[in-house]
Structure formats: structure tokens, C-alpha cells
Amino acid sequence: MSDPITASLLVGLAAQKFIESSAGELAKKFTTEAIAKIPELWQQIKNRLQGKSAKVDEALVKLESGDRTAIDTVTKNLDVILDDEPEFANELKLLAQTIQAGKIQDNSTMTQNNSDNARGWQTKVEGGTAYIGEIHIQQGQTPNS
């Protein structure tokens, strides 16, 4: 696996079932076996974080209701636990690798025909931010004296 397993990745995977708008959307991204492991990952994270503080408990409830703003709080607290408890970290990483192995790859093709000096951009983005297009900055001309 090329991507390192981080707290952010773990929470992102575990929160998939709450954040995705429907089970159908999740099924487009993961195999049935991987989807079956997501609740297990979430439950392990929740069990370890629950009761740590009122703020963490509130973030867990918010995340379960689909509120993306709680991801940062859960991630930060999980990161601390992963550093302090290497055995637990390894358990979660193995589970995450199983889920990631069940990720369905998008092998579709994209075709674009441009003519008359037209330009076009096509992108496929999974997570992260896509910056698309060009920026042209023209320098102002100095006035002739």
C-alpha cells in the first residue's frame, strides 16, 4: 500500500457510512466485503475515544449524524491514541488495509475533442483538492514618456 495509514485516513474510512448520502454511493466506491468492515473500524475507534471528554463524545455523535465538521476533533484525538498505543494502532491499520484493498478503482476513460485552439481539462479526483485551469497574469505596460 503506497499511502501511509494515518489517523485522518482511519477516521475518513470509518466515517464513510455516515457521510455518504446513500448506501448506493458507498457501494460504488467499495466492495461488499470492504463495506462490511467499515462499521467494525468505526466501532473500535468509537469505543477507544468514547468517555475521553465531553467534546470528544459530542464530536462522535455529530460524526454519526453526518456532520463533517467533527472529523477534525475525532482525528486529533485518535492521533494521540495511535501514538500512545502501538498495538491498537496496528489493529486499526490492518483493518484499514483490508478496507482499502476493497476499494473499487475507476478505470473509466474520458474523451475530449477540442478544435480551433480550444483548451479543456478533464480530471478525476478522489479526495483532496483539485486545482483546475490556468491563471494568466499580464504585466502592466509602462507608459511612454
- Output the 3-class SS for 37-99: HHHHHHHHHHHHHCCCCHHHHHHHHHHHCCCHHHHHHHHHHHHHHHHHCHHHHHHHHHHHHHH
Amino acid code (one letter) for 44: Q
What value does the mean pLDDT take over residues 79-106?
88
Predicted confidence (pLDDT) per residue in 33-67, tens digit? 888 899 999 999 999 999 989 999 999 999 998 88
The predicted pLDDT at position 128 comes to 58
pTM, two decimal places: 0.65
Residue 136 has pLDDT above 90, yes or no: no
